[in-house]
Amino acid sequence: MGALEGVRVLDLSRVLAGPLATQMLADLGADVVKVEAPWGDDTRKWGPPFIDGDAAYYHACNRGKRSILLDIKSESGRHTLRQLIAHADVIVENFKAGTLERMGLMTDISDDKILCRITGYGQTGPRAEEPGYDLALQAMTGIMSVTGQADGEPAKVGVAWIDVLTGMMASNGIMVALFHRERTGEGQTIDLSLYDVALMAMVNQAQNWIASGENPGRMGHAHPNIVPYQAFMASDEWFILACGNDAQFANVCVATGATSLQRDELSNNSGRLEARTEIVETLSQIFTQNTAEHWIAEFNKVGVPSVPIQSVSQAFTDSQAESRNALWRWGDQESVANALRFMTRTPATSSTPPPKLGEHTEEIIRDWLGHA
């Protein structure tokens, strides 16, 4: 039995952050009903590639749900939506701030309901009315100022990073709210914005600015607080060396024969940061003398993290990924598995593939509302 079995979630969201949050809840056993307009979630059309008629993007964050077709701009559609709200434990929406109020739906959400409202900038503040898109939020919250090569143009993270983190935070907040309701009977509203999540996720880069007053900048694949901790070019290809402490640095020097770096002033992290240029240049010259595979093996022998830089296909066909069932399968369809699948009592489980548009409309009307 899933941990959230019996919990009814009404998913009014679309695109990524909200659907990812509700997919997480579905993986944990919740009954998630996805409400879609006659044209469906926008991401159904965000292809190619397509899987069984819908874009792969849509398939990434909608498994385990049931879909109901509902035109909430019509009076009959809003009437059915109000009935669904009355039977839901959790409502998730990502309309622009104030939309539920303008539709007159807030009065239908009783005090025992959990309402998760996902927006670009939150329900309050001077930007509350602005739409939120991951790229724009990456620009607004500092991540693009620290991503990319030092002398290059600003770069974004290769996935919709802020949307993904917001989805995870939303599912966390919903589960905390469910736990609180279990103890007190009280529901609550979660005002969650991509903006707040992105600022929170700046972690050490933001804290570095708070402590020093200096803006961090782009450093390519290097680390602002640790060295050597970056990609290096071997004789054939790039690889990663992630040296995280003093003992590991001593082992790097032994494995590479970099005797010039075996000095007292480089035996601590502060000293290495001061000598970043010398360390990187010295190691870079040494690494060109052999293959990435050679250096990775040498560092692994002495306990220093070092790995290849893999493509997406290499990552998912890696023996580690295959041994831990990183992909869930339904017939000829596959989906990236939930990382909570290794919980000992209530693991996330593969349920059903993403629904077709309106596939379960009659079933939901019967199950939730008791109408034939």
Kindly report, residue by residue over 134-147, the tens digit of the pLDDT: 999 999 999 999 99
Question: Is the same domain home to 154 and 102?
Answer: yes
- Is pLDDT of 371 > 80? no
Is residue 60 situated within a structural domain?
yes
Starting at the edge strand that comes first in sequence, how are the strands of the sheet with 238-242 ordered?
229-233, 238-242, 306-308
97-129 pLDDT per residue, tens: 888 888 888 888 989 999 999 999 999 999 999
Using CB atoms within 10 Å of the CB of residue 242, give its burial: 0 to 12 exposed, 13 to 18 middle, 19+ buried. middle
Instruction: Give the pLDDT score at 97.
Output: 87
Instruction: Give the pLDDT score at 350.
Output: 81
Instruction: Give the pLDDT score at 103.
Output: 86
**CA dist list (Å): 192 to 10, 95, 205:** 17, 12, 22
Q: How many domains does the chain have?
A: 2
Instruction: Give the pLDDT score at 198.
Output: 97
Domain that holds residue 292: 229-313
Question: Is the same domain home to 174 and 299?
Answer: no
Active site residues: 163
- Is pLDDT of 372 > 70? no
Alpha carbon distance 31, 8 (integer Å): 5
Is residue 334 situated within a structural domain?
no
- The CATH number of the domain holding residue 355 is 3.40.50.10540
Is residue 154 situated within a structural domain?
yes
- Is pLDDT of 174 > 90? yes
Question: Is the same domain home to 16 and 66?
Answer: yes
Is residue 365 situated within a structural domain?
yes
269-297 pLDDT per residue, tens: 999 999 999 999 999 999 999 999 999 99
- The CATH number of the domain holding residue 280 is 3.30.1540.10
Question: Is the same domain home to 233 and 308?
Answer: yes
Is residue 319 situated within a structural domain?
no
Helices vs strands, H then E, count in the chain: 15, 13
